Amino acid sequence: MPSTSRSASPTRTTRTAPKPRHRRLPALAALATAVALAVGVAAPASAAEPASPSAGTAAGTADRHLPPIHPELDFAGSTVAAHEGRGPGAPVAALAVTQTPGLDVASYQGNVNWSSVRANGARFAYVKATEGTTYTNPYFTQQYNGSYNAGLIRGAYHFALPNRSSGTAQANWFVDHGGGWSRDGKTLPPALDIEYNPYGATCFGLSQSAMVSWIRAFSTTVHTRTGRYPTIYTTTNWWATCTGNNASFGATNPLWIARYASTVGTLPAGWSYQTIWQHADSGVFPGDQNLFNGAFDRLQALANG
């Protein structure tokens, strides 16, 4: 197959997050803000500095001690190469069972030519739907419905911001904005993208036990709302660092592992195999390159639950 990459679009490495605008606070408001942050409580609202919805919680209020988010730059794997690097490719021959190729996309890819993607061999796609509790992908309808209409089995994923709001709140936002599921044979389980924090501390400032609780709340809420446990997208290193290599999700949640190398490597505790492997962040398809760990009929079985 001919190989095309994201070179038609601006490369990821040259794009930078938009800088937040600086505002001048009145002296008293600035003093009140400094005192509030020093004692660990929320700073008082100021008419000179309205809350930014982009940094909001489920109630739409801003976490003012956290930076504004740039969701258009966040996608499955957007932090992986910077933390874990890239190795040599050509993974298919090293795998013991038939692999089914697919991709994942976000707003970064814009409108996708799905007929071309299908002709180049893709059989499934994951599409970013949401981030936090305020963002929805403006290209979601074209990407999610377009892949379906082209004959791909597709699903939606959520980019997690565990320090911004609860797992329950983010799961509800996700399901309400594209993260549903139906037994139509062409819809994958909803997916949770939980990876390195693009805005600061690797584990979003959460302890390992708090992170496990957050993921559990997200997973349980998605299951309650849709009847499916979400696929979990992560890396082995992040999972070990931020959950203590918790093994309790392997019995219920499919694993979507990210590793840009010629082998899938060691998996997180609790999973004896990966369901999907994101093995490269560029290639023949737009977005990231993925392999479902099985033949097409097994992919259909995953879609059907």
Q: Quick one: how far is CA 204 from the chain centroid? A: 14
Q: Using the structure block, give the residue that is written with the tokens 């697919």.
A: 102
Residue 40, Cβ density class (10 Å: 0-12 exposed, 13-18 middle, ≥19 buried): exposed
The tally of CA atoms less than 13 A away on the side-chain side of residue 102 is 29
Q: Give the orientation angle of helix 236-243 with respect to helix 208-226, to 10 degrees.
A: 110
Token reading at 62: 């801003």
C-alpha closest to that of 288 among 97, 58, 105, 23: 105
**Catalytic residue flag (residue 195):** yes
Q: Among 63, 74, 131, 195, which one carries the catalytic annotation?
A: 195
Q: Which of 74, 84, 131, 193 is catalytic?
A: 193
Cβ contacts of residue 270 below 8 Å, gap of 6+? Answer: 246, 247, 248, 249, 250, 251
Catalytic residue among 63, 74, 104, 131: 104
Q: Could you give the CA distance from residue 57 to residue 228 in angstroms, rounded to a whole number?
A: 25
Give the three-state DSSP class for 77. coil
DSSP 195-218: ---TTSSTTTT--HHHHHHHHHHH
Decide if 84 is catalytic: no
Contact 218, 157 (CB under 8 A): no
Non-local CB neighbours of 109 within 8 Å, separated by 6+ positions? 6, 9, 139, 143, 286, 287
193 is a catalytic site residue: yes
- Positions marked active-site: 104, 193, 195
